[in-house]
Amino acid sequence: WRQSAHLDIVFIVGITYVTRGAFSLQALIGAGETSFVLSSDDGETYVSFARSLLSGGDLHFIAGETPYAPGYTFFVALLLVLTGGNFLLLVLLHSMLAAVTGVLLYLVLRHMAGRLAALTGGMLLALNVGLLQVQGTMTAEALALPFIMLFIWALTRYEGSPRSQWILGAGVALAIAIYSRNMVLIFLPATVGWILLRQQPRLLRRTYFASLLILVVVLPLALTNFALTGTARLTGQDAALAWGLSTEPWQALAPSNEPLLEMGIDPFREPATSLAAIWADPAPVTAFVARSAPRRAITMLFPPEFGLFDPLRILNPGIVANAFGPLVDSVLIAMLLLGFVMARRDKSSSAGTLLILLIVAYLLLFSILFTPYHPPRYHTLIAPFMITFQALGIAMLSKRLITAR
């Protein structure tokens, strides 16, 4: 197992690192540092914040005036220190985040379904254009993704051997991911539910592990944010949830939640008033959610022209999407459905159930209910989960075909 795993990991690290590095370098070498920084939505902001941090300037990104979680800013500042501000070296170090994500996805899939599924998943991740975009540019998702996968990997180890060390590891990883991208916070209640609903270990032990996970995630976030902002809370910025949930009236990019605001529904700034409004007249809110939910969920799960395999995009990000994109997408959706079936039928592992819970929780809070504005990169935080099921489906179909022969 170890020999084959080592070879597989070297292969996955190589292909993931090369694709991300090539994508980053074409912008950097072609038009310089400014072009590379501007190749993502918020790259210029993160670099500006990081330089401000290093120069001892105004740290308003911590104080709650912007919707940016500070974790990625600290990471960019660290890279600037390590590289002396050399963006060529920065790109080479930054691309390692994607390689780590690929390795952790491989380990999760190897635990769930064996080598074929693991290799398939690693390949799909390496060639996913959506992940290529966020991992090859200056985006917070690039830092959140490896810690999300580390969180999942630790939970698969906990599944096989329920011990505190795996819960501690999972909690630390999730806290760092949340500190990089606030919307990942929704994974915590979904995971607590998974721990409590499993058959093993006994209920008292499951309750202990669930409580430990909550403590490990909540305590450092609350203490850190208290030290930085003077308020013990899970997100460091007042604007963060308002942006992520599109409940700010100034959210010009996300106007489709205006009917909720007009009905008095603003659950995070005015929870009591929102509950009272829903209780008094639930029909309009129910009708609004019923109309918008399917479209929003589909857009989040399958962003149009995003995530297709198109190797030419590595060298030229402006190129038109692959002409065979709809066909590729259709095949991957079919494999996704097969993967769901395989995950539900496999009684030896409940990791598939965990991933389904995380996807549903993410969609519920950040797509169906509150987030009408869908930058395709929001999808990338659950893209490894989707790839996991696609890989399971491909592996299952391949084994069936081999058996039939």
Residues 298-311, mean pLDDT to the nearest whole number: 61
Under a CB-based contact definition with an 8 Å cutoff, are residues 384 and 181 in contact?
Answer: no
Point out the least confidently predicted range of 195-204, 229-238, 268-277, 323-332: 323-332
Residues 85-97, mean pLDDT to the nearest whole number: 87
What's the pLDDT at 128?
82
What's the pLDDT at 285?
83
- Greater model confidence, 90 or 367: 90
Residues 119-131, mean pLDDT to the nearest whole number: 87
330 band by pLDDT with thresholds 50, 70 and 90? low
| % of the chain surpassing 90 pLDDT | 20
Per-residue pLDDT at 269 exceeds 80 = no
What's the pLDDT at 244?
46
Q: What is the pLDDT of residues 95-109, one digit of tens each?
A: 899 999 999 999 999
Per-residue pLDDT at 117 exceeds 80 = yes
Residues 132-150, mean pLDDT to the nearest whole number: 90
Residues 318-334, mean pLDDT to the nearest whole number: 56
Dihedral, 207, 213, 217, 222 alpha carbons, nearest 10:
30
Residues 268-281, mean pLDDT to the nearest whole number: 79
Per-residue pLDDT at 30 exceeds 70 = no
C-alpha dist (Å) from residue 391 to 112, 324, 369, 401: 11, 20, 29, 15
What radius of gyration do the chain's Cα atoms show?
21
Token pair for residue 1?
Answer: 């197992």
Give 402's contacts (C-beta < 8 A, 6+ positions apart): none
What's the pLDDT at 33?
65
Average pLDDT over all residues of the chain: 78
What's the pLDDT at 193?
92
Per-residue pLDDT at 327 exceeds 90 = no
Cα separation, 237 vs 82, in Å, equals 28
pTM for the whole structure: 0.85
Cα separation, 375 vs 133, in Å, equals 12
What's the pLDDT at 133?
82
Per-residue pLDDT at 249 exceeds 60 = no
Residue in the block written with tokens 């106007």: 255
Neighbours of 199 (CB within 10 A): 7
Phi, psi angles (nearest 5°) of residue 265: -100, 105
Residues 207-228, mean pLDDT to the nearest whole number: 86
Residues 222-249, mean pLDDT to the nearest whole number: 61
Highest mean pLDDT pick, 142-151, 160-169, 232-241, 312-321:
142-151
Per-residue pLDDT at 318 exceeds 70 = no
Point out the least confidently predicted range of 5-19, 30-44, 372-386: 30-44
* 3-state secondary structure string across the chain: CHHHHHHHHHHHHHHHHHHHHHHHHHHHHHHHHHHHHCCCCCHHHHHHHHHHHHCCCCCCCCCCCCCCCCHHHHHHHHHHHHHCCCHHHHHHHHCHHHHHHHHHHHHHHHHHHCHHHHHHHHHHHHCCHHHHHHHCCCCHHHHHHHHHHHHHHHHHHHHHCCCHHHHHHHHHHHHHHHHHCHHHHHHHHHHHHHHHHCCCCCHHHHHHHHHHHHHHHHHHHHHHHHHHHCCCCCCCCHHHHHHHCCCCCCCCCCHHHHHHHHCCCCCCCCHHHHHHHHHHCHHHHHHHHHHHHHHHHHHHHCCCCCCCCCCHHHHCCCCCCCCCHHHHHHHHHHHHHHHHHHHHHCCCCCHHHHHHHHHHHHHHHHHHHCCCCCCHHHHCCCHHHHHHHHHHHHHHHHHHHHHHC
What's the pLDDT at 35?
67
CA of residue 19 relative to chain centroid, distance? 19
Cα separation, 139 vs 36, in Å, equals 11
CA triplet 357, 373, 326: central angle to 5 degrees? 75
Residues 16-42, mean pLDDT to the nearest whole number: 74
What's the pLDDT at 329?
62
- Greater model confidence, 169 or 201: 169
Q: What is the pLDDT of residues 61-83, one digit of tens each?
A: 655 556 677 888 889 999 999 98
